[in-house]
Amino acid sequence: MTAGASTAPALVATPGLAEIAGAYSAIFCDIWGVLHNGEEKSPSAEAALLAARKAGVTVVLVSNSPRTSAAVGAQLDMLDVTREAYDAIVTSGDVTRALISAGGRRVYHLGPARDADLFEGLDVARVGEAEAEVIVATGLFDDEREVPEDYADQLARLAARGLPMICANPDIVVHRGGRLIWCAGALARDYAALGGEVRMAGKPHAPIYAVAEDRAGLSDRSAILAIGDGLNTDIRGANNAGIDALLVVGGIHGEELGGAHAGAAALAEALSGQGLSARYFMPTLA
């Protein structure tokens, strides 16, 4: 389908993924906000993806997690998501590793220790702020307590030195249970506002979709359906890539878009106002 709100087909409410999955050969499905909320899985989403795979559709989970696909797979295991519900996982962390390899060797890691697997096997040295040639932002050090404003002074120092920032997670916020958690995308946003150079590979940027296509073994984008809840990541990324999109309305933008009570006309108008479009929508993936 042609991307762009002005030329897209009318937005359609769908009662379930099974109603539309047969029109596609592959599904690129977001994880956080669709398949789980950071603390619990969505049984209906798991069942929908499992049914799609059984019907012959290839399911690739495409995440803006700054961690590797192996680490995200382990997290899904802990949340009791069956591996039968997906064929492969592609993360922003996976794709970001190529950016890290192409950057400076002395890396300052701006983010929690749990993301350290992002650097495993790479020919880089993790150093302190003063010795760094490049910043790799994976999130806030303590995302349960801190906010982006806490980093204003540090980001100003780094920007003044002209250091490039590689952002491993373009998301601004996510839900963790019922809480909003700031992500690396918020730090990258603020760094860019200071005039700093920011490099990204995750959604909505092209590199992660190219890797997902490779994992799916598919290059015909008209045969792919992207599923997600993030307007500026999942939906914008799908639009940029020319991929049909299914918007999960009850995710991160639930209050903004009306959640379970969202109507097609009002939702299409809201998307159009941001230069976006989707082919289908539903409150939660089912």
Average pLDDT over residues 194-220: 95
The confidence score (pLDDT) of residue 4 equals 41
The confidence score (pLDDT) of residue 250 equals 79
Give the integer Cα–Cα distance in Å for 272 and 171.
Answer: 21
The confidence score (pLDDT) of residue 65 equals 92
Average pLDDT over residues 225-246: 96
CATH of domain 12-93+208-282: 3.40.50.1000
The CATH class of 96-200 is alpha beta
Residue pLDDT, tens place only, 51-109: 999 999 999 999 999 999 999 999 999 999 999 999 999 999 999 999 999 888 999 99
Amino acid identity, position 126: R
The confidence score (pLDDT) of residue 5 equals 40
The confidence score (pLDDT) of residue 100 equals 94
Q: Decide: 271 and 6 in contact? Cβ < 8 Å.
A: no
Judged on CB neighbours under 10 Å (0-12, 13-18, 19+), 203 is buried
Amino acid identity, position 273: G
Q: Which tops the pLDDT comparison, 151 or 252? A: 151
From the CA atom positions of the chain, what is the Rg in Å?
19
Domain 12-93+208-282 matches domain 96-200 at the CATH topology level? yes
Q: How is the chain split into domains, by residue range? A: 12-93+208-282, 96-200
Residue pLDDT, tens place only, 150-197: 999 999 999 999 999 999 999 898 878 778 889 999 999 999 999 999
Average pLDDT over residues 264-275: 88
The confidence score (pLDDT) of residue 109 equals 98
Judged on CB neighbours under 10 Å (0-12, 13-18, 19+), 213 is buried
Q: How confident is the model at residue 6 (pLDDT cuts 50, 70, 90)?
A: very low
